Amino acid sequence: MSNIYDYAYELERSIRETAEYKRLKQAVQQVKSDPNASRLFDGFKRLQIRLQEKSMRGEPISRDETQQIQQQMQIAQTNPLIAQLMMAEQRLGALLNDVNKIMSKPLEELYGK
């Protein structure tokens, strides 16, 4: 029997070959090549990461912070390159969620739903 890590690395290579990954990769390159889009997206991502880290530490996220991230997202999405990147992220995220569900089936069967 093959090592499970060999399968995991094969899965990683397969994900890189999907249309979803290729679209996201292209969208990221397009955003990075446009200074305005890159600046907007970087600002949004920095804020998003800061709030995720805060949440992971168990700290509450204020109403102002929630409004700030929503405003940043709305501003960022007005840029067509960023909007395209976010859609590509969502598609790849959906694919990865589906794969994760498949990989989690053994635990679901052990513990029940």
pLDDT in tens, 71-106: 998 998 899 999 999 999 999 999 999 999 999 999
Please give the residue range of the domain that contains residue 27.
4-111
Contact 75, 4 (CB under 8 A): no
What is the pLDDT, as a whole number, of residue 2? Answer: 72
Please tell me the total count of domains within the chain: 1
Contact 44, 79 (CB under 8 A): no
What is the CATH classification number for the domain harbouring 55? 1.20.1500.10
pLDDT band at 113 (very low <50, low <70, confident <90, very high): low
Q: What are the tens digits of pLDDT across the range 14-61?
A: 999 999 999 999 999 999 999 999 999 999 999 999 999 999 999 999
Backbone angles phi, psi at 103, to 5 degrees: -70, -25
What is the pLDDT, as a whole number, of residue 1? Answer: 53
